[in-house]
Amino acid sequence: MIPPKPPSRPDRVSLWRHLRLFRQDILSAQPARLYRAWMAEFRTPFFRSYLCNDPALIDLVLKARPDDFPKSNRIREGLNPLLGNSVFVTNGAEWKRQRRIIDPAFEGGRLRDTFPAIWAAATAATARLSPGTVEVEEAMSHAAADVIFRTLFSIPIEHQTAQAVFHEFRAYQRSQPILNLAAFLPLPRWMPRLHRRQTLRAAARIRALITAMTDSRAAEIAAGTAPDDLATKIMQTPDPETGHRFDTGEMVDQVAIFFLAGHETSASALAWALYLLATHPEAQARVAAEAATLPDQPDFAALSRLKFTRDVFRETLRLYPPVPMMVRETTCPETFRSRPVPRGAQIVLSPWHLHRHERLWSDPDHFDPDRWTRKDTKLCARAAYMPFSAGPRVCTGASFAMVEGTLLLAHLLRAYQVAPIAGDVPVPVAHLTVRAAHGIRLTFTRRAQASACSV
């Protein structure tokens, strides 16, 4: 069975229709030829954009000369009310300063330290489920948010403030399009950015709640009573070059992107992974067999026994990369594949198209976790796999996300068997991340061995 894929638009449509499609869903707004093209140019009256699938160009932009291709401010327009000046949207010296403070919190040793909190969230997610029909996007959003709160602030999702942030974020998701209209128009900086009122209200409420949590943690740090979690680590880490630490406003910006990136992207990947396993029973049985070897208590070494489960999550990220497109901007004229590219052009790097590129992958639209054990895939993956971006701007929490996804899948599949609902096929669309247009519903049934163990 081939996993669902959004329809592609015809090669030629009017600019107005393309912009309307793009605001609704950036995936179905693209022509089918992009799954074979090495490069494509799109022109509007205000700017030019170039989608690059050529691994050499991707390497140039993300790894060889990243400073010459900063993140595009057009993408920033829609996220500004929530993210402020976070590490996700900054460039240049400011971005480098922020990464110098943030990165130590996610180094290898810290991942082991946060593992018990991820395990606790996985256990809680399994306990919250019950047999029957489950809307897995909603359930996985809850689980991923729990992971973020437990690892960042040492509180479970049931905590009053965590609950409030989670529910406000759901309101923000529903009101926020993937791109604000200002992303398409050359508006001067003084002009209002045309955000929806409900988007602004939700972002303000989220930031107010995060501010209260950050102020509380600062007081705990001052009193010497703060828990040793990610928030404490980041707030206490000085920039090794300047000695500067994040103040409250800066920390609020960073927590907002940790929640957006760590919760929204993980929820997307986990929901699609469960759907893929539900529609591929043999793969599901292999994950359940690995999961049966997990101990009852947190054991970091147990991750090494979940090799196939990890490959399932990796393959899910190939087919359904949570962030389907990334946009950079040229700072000087360039030449790409013998084509002149002007200064200020938008360079679109699309994990969605790259991961399904017909010239790079064998059976690109098929779900095949075993491909990750084959030599040809390992070679291809180095050039054409970037669910967490690549180069200096690679997601600082990439290893964290892989552990979270693998462990949650194992816990869920150890307790439950999942099956698709006849005729209920999810259609992927891109909002803040790749989600299903009308949700993903699966049937959950308790596994016999899990029931026996709980008696």
Does residue 446 form part of some domain?
Answer: yes
Average pLDDT over residues 226-236: 95
More confident residue, 13 or 74: 74
Does residue 9 form part of some domain?
Answer: no
Q: How far apart are the first and last CA of the chain?
A: 37
Q: Which residues of 321-356 are buried (b: 16+ CB within 10 A; e: fewer)?
A: bbbbbbbbbbeeebebeeeebeeebbbbbbbbbbbb
With cut-offs at 50, 70 and 90, classify the pLDDT of residue 452: very low
The pTM of this model reads: 0.91
With cut-offs at 50, 70 and 90, classify the pLDDT of residue 172: confident
Does residue 61 form part of some domain?
Answer: yes
Nearest of 265, 323, 253 to residue 89 by alpha carbon = 253
Distances (CA, A) of 316 to 27, 356, 369: 17, 12, 8
Alpha-carbon distance of 213 to 231, in angstroms, equals 10
Distances (CA, A) of 76 to 26, 91, 230, 397: 16, 11, 25, 20
Nearest of 201, 334, 172, 348 to residue 263 by alpha carbon = 172
- The pLDDT of residue 9: 55
With cut-offs at 50, 70 and 90, classify the pLDDT of residue 296: very high
Alpha-carbon distance of 418 to 421, in angstroms, equals 10
Three-state secondary structure of the chain: CCCCCCCCECCCCCHHHHHHHHHHCCCCCCEHHHHCCCEEEEECCCCEEEEECCHHHHHHHHHHCHHHCCECHHHHHHHHHHHCCCCCCCCHHHHHHHHHHHHHHHCHHHHHHHHHHHHHHHHHHHHHCCCEEEEHHHHHHHHHHHHHHHHHHCCCCCCHHHHHHHHHHHHHHHHCCCCCHHHCCCCCCCCCCCCCHHHHHHHHHHHHHHHHHHHHHHHHHHHCCCCCCHHHHHHHCCCCCCCCCCCHHHHHHHHHHHHHHHHHHHHHHHHHHHHHHHCCHHHHHHHHHHHCCCCCCCCHHHHHHCHHHHHHHHHHHHHCCCCCCEEEECCCCEEECCEEECCCCEEEECHHHHHCCCCCCCCCCCCCHHHHHCHHHHHHHHHHCCECECHHHCCCCHHHHHHHHHHHHHHHHHHEEEEECCCCCCCEEECCCEEECCCCEEEEEECHHHHHHHC
With cut-offs at 50, 70 and 90, classify the pLDDT of residue 26: confident
With cut-offs at 50, 70 and 90, classify the pLDDT of residue 183: low
pLDDT at 453 over 50: no
pLDDT at 189 over 60: no
With cut-offs at 50, 70 and 90, classify the pLDDT of residue 27: confident
Least confident of 86-100, 115-129, 172-186: 172-186
pLDDT, one tens digit per residue, over 364-406 is: 999 999 999 998 888 888 889 999 999 999 999 999 999 999 9
Contacts of 339 (CB under 8 A, 6+ apart): 39, 41, 50
Token pair for residue 331?
Answer: 């700072």
Alpha-carbon distance of 226 to 216, in angstroms, equals 9
Does residue 5 form part of some domain?
Answer: no
More confident residue, 314 or 45: 314
pLDDT at 185 over 60: no
Give the Cβ contact number of residue 9 at 10 Å. Answer: 17
- The pLDDT of residue 23: 56
Alpha-carbon distance of 54 to 20, in angstroms, equals 27
More confident residue, 17 or 320: 320
- The pLDDT of residue 18: 57
Q: Quote the number of domains for the chain.
A: 1
CA of residue 127 relative to chain centroid, distance: 25
Alpha-carbon distance of 300 to 84, in angstroms, equals 35
Contact 246, 235 (CB under 8 A): yes
Does residue 8 form part of some domain?
Answer: no
Tell me the CATH number at 318. 1.10.630.10
Q: Which residue has the tokens 């970037």?
A: 386
- The pLDDT of residue 203: 85
- The pLDDT of residue 12: 61
Percentage of the chain modeled with pLDDT above 70: 88
pLDDT at 447 over 90: yes
- The pLDDT of residue 261: 79
Average pLDDT over residues 230-241: 96
Does residue 3 form part of some domain?
Answer: no
Average pLDDT over residues 31-41: 93
Q: Which residue has the tokens 């707004």?
A: 29
Chain mean pLDDT for the chain: 88
pLDDT at 72 over 70: yes
- The pLDDT of residue 43: 80
Nearest of 403, 432, 83, 161 to residue 270 by alpha carbon = 403
Contact 399, 266 (CB under 8 A): no
pLDDT, one tens digit per residue, over 135-160 is: 999 999 999 999 999 999 999 998 88
Range of the structural domain that residue 417 is part of: 15-454
Average pLDDT over residues 26-55: 87
- The pLDDT of residue 19: 58
pLDDT at 24 over 90: no
pLDDT at 181 over 50: no
pLDDT at 22 over 60: no
Does residue 7 form part of some domain?
Answer: no
- The pLDDT of residue 191: 46
- The pLDDT of residue 193: 46
Nearest of 28, 45, 30, 265 to residue 140 by alpha carbon = 265
- The pLDDT of residue 17: 56
Give the Cβ contact number of residue 296 at 10 Å. Answer: 7
Least confident of 96-110, 127-141, 178-192, 194-208: 178-192
Least confident of 115-124, 129-138, 262-271: 262-271
